[in-house]
Chains A and B, each alone.
Chain A
Amino acid sequence: QSALTQPASVAGSPGQSITISCTGTSSDIGAYDYVSWYQQHPGTAPKLILYNVSNRPSGVPDRFSGSKSGTTASLTISGLQLEDEAHYYCSSYTHLYTPVLFGGGTNLTVL
């Protein structure tokens, strides 16, 4: 069982918006803004798409946005494109024994 909880799957149609949640605790997401999101296509390494809750690295489209409320962080993808079909993982810092936590991942299907 992963430390951060994500839905196993979400689906959307091209052009629509979807949101993926990532729920933690008061020791991680609830205490710090060190939340990152990674996109992973099959057979490839993960790619950073958001950091510090809502910051986008250079080259990441502004269709990707992030937010946080309490112990839950969210990734929103607007204007879905076929190439967005991938697995998405959230990550957070925690002050507990293992400082890096990942969510179990969400499989996004673009229908």
Chain B
Amino acid sequence: QVHLVQSGAEVKKPGSSVKVSCKASGDTFINYLFSWVRQAPGQGLEWVGGIIPVFRTPTYAQSFQDRVTITADESTSTVYMELRGLRSEDTAVYYCARGPAGIVGATPLDYWGQGTLVPVTS
């Protein structure tokens, strides 16, 4: 059984950074694609970026290109997403999701974490 367990909620101030973790268990870690998807309150889903741990090279959404870093730690089967320069519009639930390795975006996300709420407020 695959489980994705994310770190807890964090309240952040504008201009600061947040780093959210996602620990995977139950299956081989490095041969899958991990994506980060966010959802602002009452809004839809927005893809932030993704990484295949065995390749180590992440792919980012254009709108986050300059502010986000996604990494993977094979030793702990954990994926991280760091978002910098936070603004109020970044207030959202951030989800980690896993799918089969392949072309980023072309593979479905079949397992999801529980989500991490990041309120950005002064």
Q: Closest B-chain residue to A94, C-beta based?
A: B105
User: Are A45 and B115 CB-contacts (below 8 A) given A98-B62, A101-B47, A105-B44?
Assistant: yes
Q: Which residues of B contact A98 (CB under 8 A)?
A: 47, 61-63
Q: Which residues of A contact B112 (CB under 8 A)?
A: 45-47
The yes or no answer to A103 lying at the interface (CB within 8 A) is: yes
**Residue contact A57 to B44, C-beta cutoff 8 Å:** no
> Shortest distance in angstroms between B103's beta carbon and chain A's nearest beta carbon?
7
The yes or no answer to A99 lying at the interface (CB within 8 A) is: yes
* Count of A-B residue pairs with CB < 8 Å: 67
User: Are A93 and B95 CB-contacts (below 8 A) given A45-B112, A46-B45, A47-B112?
Assistant: no
User: Are A51 and B103 CB-contacts (below 8 A) given A98-B63, A101-B47, A105-B44?
Assistant: no
User: Are A48 and B108 CB-contacts (below 8 A) given A2-B44, A101-B47, A104-B44?
Assistant: yes
Can you sample 18 A-B contacts with CB below 8 Å? A36-B109, A38-B109, A45-B112, A45-B114, A46-B109, A47-B112, A48-B110, A51-B108, A57-B108, A89-B44, A91-B45, A91-B47, A92-B105, A93-B105, A100-B47, A100-B61, A102-B37, A102-B45
CB within 8 Å of B: which residues of A? 2, 32, 34, 36, 38, 45-48, 51-52, 57, 89, 91-94, 97-105
CB within 8 Å of A: which residues of B? 35, 37, 44-47, 50, 59, 61-63, 95, 97, 103-110, 112-115
